Amino acid sequence: MQKDSEQHGRLLRLRDGIGHFGPVSDKFGEMEVERPRRPWQSIRNEGYLRQGGPDGDVKGQLLTDSLGEWCVLVRSGKHRVAIAAALGYDAIPNSI
């Protein structure tokens, strides 16, 4: 969490909270609300573009049930998936 917060221009400590559940500090909450702004603007204005970095592709696992129905458990890129869905995308590139 500390490394992630530094990448977004913040310095958070464990006492600020944990990203998957609360309570969290105001500082942490502000970072989480602000975090998807740049990807939202980029995808809205330029379309969904793959990135070549270590966190470039959305990564996940395919899960199936006994009836053959499947879904994707997103492991990396949750914000990008949520933004693309909100913008009406039916599919995006991934590394599943």
pLDDT in tens, 25-68: 787 778 778 888 888 999 999 998 887 666 678 888 999 999 99
Residues in CB range of 44: below 8 A, 6 or more apart: 87
The contacts found for 29-37 with CB under 8 angstroms, 24 or more apart, are 31/5, 34/8, 35/8, 35/79, 36/79, 36/82, 36/83
Q: Is residue 42 part of a domain?
A: no
pTM over 0.85: no
Q: Is residue 38 part of a domain?
A: no
Distance CA 80, CA 3 (A): 19
Question: Could you give the strand order of the β-sheet that contains 58-64, starting from the edge strand earlier in sequence?
Answer: 70-76, 58-64, 94-95
Q: Is residue 29 part of a domain?
A: no
Q: How many domains does the chain have?
A: 1
What was the pLDDT predicted at 87?
Answer: 95
Q: Is residue 91 part of a domain?
A: yes
Q: Is residue 63 part of a domain?
A: yes
What was the pLDDT predicted at 86?
Answer: 94
Domain with 61, as residue range(s), is 53-96
Do residues 28 and 12 touch, judged by C-beta distance below 8 A?
yes
